[in-house]
Amino acid sequence: MAADEDLVGHLANGDDTALRELLRRYERPLSAFIYRHTAGRDVEDLYQETWLRVVRQAARFDRTRRFSTWLFQIAVNLCRDWHRRPPPEPHPIADGTAAPHELGRVESALDAAALLSSLPEAQREVVILRYYHDLPEDQVALILDCPKGTVKSRLHNALARLAAVVRAENR
Amino acid sequence: MTAGEERGRAVGLSQLAEHVAECDMCRAEPLPLEQCAAFLSSSAVRVDVTALSQDTLRRLQPELARRARAVLWHRVTLGVLAALLPLPAVLAYDAYLLRLLYGLASAVLPAAFATYLVVTYAAFLVLLFGSTYAAIPLLVARSITPHHANQG
């Protein structure tokens, strides 16, 4: 079975078989990542845009790197850009800046997806990559282009927030 | 769970515990890890990945075709350039051979027949060169396509 990095080489030559194989390998983790990052909005556009960038930049891909890291870096950047766009209509949960007095209202409707949406972007990315994709902290740091210590502190802050929500729900 | 809905990957207690074990701040304030793990695991992803990938493949076909054409032309250009490099030397050598052949032939044969022989041989060489250069794009295209054929 060809390695991901070799398939990217074929992809740079316009080989659609290589793209099919990469899609098969990464369609679930990538779509799930985007879904959780954007709370299920514009998943199709972002998913397609991610692969479009993969195809366009395949010739410049450094084969000493892991393809999965590169793929998720592209997806992270696209999702960040997406969050910077003005939303088409107000979304009470997704902006992650709920004031403390609003927290109770938000928490009353919380499920895991809403909680993820309410986390600051940096924490959300760390939680998704570390817990939902089971990536080691080293790789999460590589994808997010930040030190491992930052990943740890973001995880801590996200867990603390999650714990607060869980405790509040139990009351 | 429907076909288009996928439960989130179960977030294991061990994953959270692993972080807590390394995190001084988390250890200082005990967290309800089991509930946190259960909470995170309840996240569902409602995406029809098969349709998503098919749409993506369809959308990217023009880009893939464009890349394949660009690669083909790049290789053809390089192949033709590489083949053209020794051409002056080959032509000079052939011209020398033709002159030699004409000298030998005209010594033993009538001049008109010797000329006919040499011109025929020259025409054969031109045809040979033409065929060789025409084959370059075909050979390059063939060197690219086996991967498609093998995996298709």
Residue B24 sits at the chain A interface (C-beta within 8 Å): no
Closest residue to A159, CB basis, from B26, B147, B151: B26
Is pLDDT at B147 greater than 60 in this prediction? no
pLDDT of residue B11: 64
Categorise residue A137: left if φ over 0, alpha if ψ from -120 to 50, beta otherwise. Answer: alpha
Contact criterion met (CB < 8 Å) for B42 and A155: no
pLDDT of residue A94: 46
ipTM of the complex: 0.73
Contact criterion met (CB < 8 Å) for A134 and B9: yes
Residues of chain A with pLDDT under 70: 87-111, 171
What does the block give as tokens for B79? Answer: 């192949």
Residue A85 sits at the chain B interface (C-beta within 8 Å): no
Calculate the alpha carbon distances from B24 to A114, A152, B19, B30 in Å: 28, 10, 10, 11
CA A82/CA A76 separation, integer angstroms: 10
Categorise residue A91: left if φ over 0, alpha if ψ from -120 to 50, beta otherwise. Answer: beta
pLDDT of residue A101: 44
pLDDT of residue B52: 92
Chain B contact set for A36 (CB, 8 A): 8, 43, 45
Q: Work out the burial of residue B16: count CB atoms within 10 Å of its CB; fewer than 13 is exposed, 13-18 middle, 19 or more buried.
A: buried
Is pLDDT at B149 greater than 70 in this prediction? no
pLDDT of residue B4: 43
pLDDT of residue B9: 52
CA B16/CA B19 separation, integer angstroms: 5
Residue B58 sits at the chain A interface (C-beta within 8 Å): no
Contact criterion met (CB < 8 Å) for A132 and B43: yes
Q: 0.90 cut: is pTM over it?
A: no
Contact criterion met (CB < 8 Å) for B8 and A155: no
- The one-letter amino acid code at A14 reads G
| Residues B15-45 pLDDT 10s | 778 888 888 877 777 778 888 888 787 777 8
Residue A17 sits at the chain B interface (C-beta within 8 Å): yes
What average pLDDT does range B117-128 have in this prediction? 92
pLDDT of residue A142: 92
Is pLDDT at B115 greater than 70 in this prediction? yes
| Residues B54-99 pLDDT 10s | 999 999 999 999 998 888 888 888 888 888 898 899 889 999 999 9
Contact criterion met (CB < 8 Å) for B36 and A162: yes
pLDDT of residue B8: 47
Q: What is the DSSP string of A14-75?
A: T-HHHHHHHHHHHHHHHHHHHHHHHTTSSHHHHHHHHHHHHHHHGGG--TTS-HHHHHHHHH
